[in-house]
Amino acid sequence: MELFLARIFDGLSNGSTYALIAMALVMIFKATTLINFAQGEFAMFGGFIVWVLATQQGIPMWGAVILGMLISAVAAAGIERTLIRPFDPADHLPLVIITLGLFLMINAIAGIVWRFDPQRFPELFPSGSVFSIGNASLSWYTVFTLITVAVVAGGLTLLLNKTKIGLAFRAVSSNLESSELVGIKVGPTLQFGWAIAAAVGTLGVCVFVAAPIRQLEPSVMVSGLIFAVSAAALGGLDSLGGSIIGGLAIGLVQSIAVPYLRIPNELSLGAAVVVLMLVLLFKPSGLFGTPQVERV
């Protein structure tokens, strides 16, 4: 029982960090109906910026996180304006190729600048445990990570539902051509989505690598992105709430199903891929996503 409880706590901890990255993916998908394969690398680069600000510039940790999120948002907005906007948003193939190219380029730049040596990331949350039952402990890291997910989800919901730019973003997400006809500036609106996604992704990777068992390195999000994509697909690629449910579900599958099925830990990534394949096969819109309707 204690082991099962410990695995549930681990699953909630892992799943909430996947949910944060998945929310960034959902923001891009809502804007462009494509998966940004460079999202994980955007987040990793933002994490290194936060690490530099905190450890080399002496900025307090949460101040560094907020500043890093702003820098990431500005950088993503610039990339959208220069590399994404010149292409037709309805033609996905060039955009997918560009995001794959950005994935490789950002990873290489991070390796050149900060090398590939793992770096210890400063703590974001208090250490220690809230309570323990035998060997199972609910850590403050898990509790504050769940709170962070709830705050980010609530903030994004308010932003999308209570602000003009949020309403414009929802309109563009719903119907690109109709949005243009009613005078919405599609380019800047999509740029807003890229900026928000980069900021959320940076926060996500900061929380991810702040876990005591992880470190910051250029390849940190290679596997993390697979878990996050699986979480977003499971919950529904256009559903913020679904991404949270999907993230927690993927985290629990990784922490509970993998060891009980005696799958080697090195193959835990395969469990996420299997979940992704099952979702795409039986429910492509995910648990809470909007099914595509084709008019004939």
pLDDT tens across 259-291, in order? Answer: 777 777 767 777 778 887 888 888 888 888 777
Instruction: Work out the pLDDT band at 227, boundaries 50, 70, 90.
Output: confident
Instruction: Work out the pLDDT band at 182, boundaries 50, 70, 90.
Output: confident
Prediction pTM value: 0.88
pLDDT over 60 (residue 60): yes
Per-residue confidence (pLDDT) for residue 295, from 0 to 100: 55
pLDDT over 70 (residue 292): no
Per-residue confidence (pLDDT) for residue 21, from 0 to 100: 87
Looking at residues 164-189, what average pLDDT do you find? Answer: 82
Looking at residues 68-96, what average pLDDT do you find? Answer: 88
Per-residue confidence (pLDDT) for residue 177, from 0 to 100: 77
Rounded to whole angstroms, the Cα distance separating 214 from 155 reads 27
Per-residue confidence (pLDDT) for residue 90, from 0 to 100: 72
In the chain, the percentage of residues whose pLDDT exceeds 90 is 27
Looking at residues 79-85, what average pLDDT do you find? Answer: 89
Between 212 and 156, residue with greater pLDDT: 156
Rounded to whole angstroms, the Cα distance separating 149 from 159 reads 15
Instruction: Work out the pLDDT band at 87, boundaries 50, 70, 90.
Output: confident
Per-residue confidence (pLDDT) for residue 296, from 0 to 100: 53
Per-residue confidence (pLDDT) for residue 150, from 0 to 100: 93
Query: Which of 38-42, 43-47, 93-97, 221-225 comes out lowest in average pLDDT?
Result: 221-225
Task: Give the number of other CB atoms < 10 A from CB of residue 265.
Answer: 9
pLDDT over 90 (residue 85): no
Per-residue confidence (pLDDT) for residue 116, from 0 to 100: 84
Looking at residues 30-38, what average pLDDT do you find? Answer: 78
Per-residue confidence (pLDDT) for residue 224, from 0 to 100: 80
Rounded to whole angstroms, the Cα distance separating 97 from 93 reads 6
Q: Mean pLDDT across the chain, nearest whole number?
A: 86
Per-residue confidence (pLDDT) for residue 73, from 0 to 100: 94
Looking at residues 132-147, what average pLDDT do you find? Answer: 86
In the chain, the percentage of residues whose pLDDT exceeds 70 is 98
* HSE-up (13 A, CA, CB side) for residue 214: 22
Rounded to whole angstroms, the Cα distance separating 180 from 195 reads 21
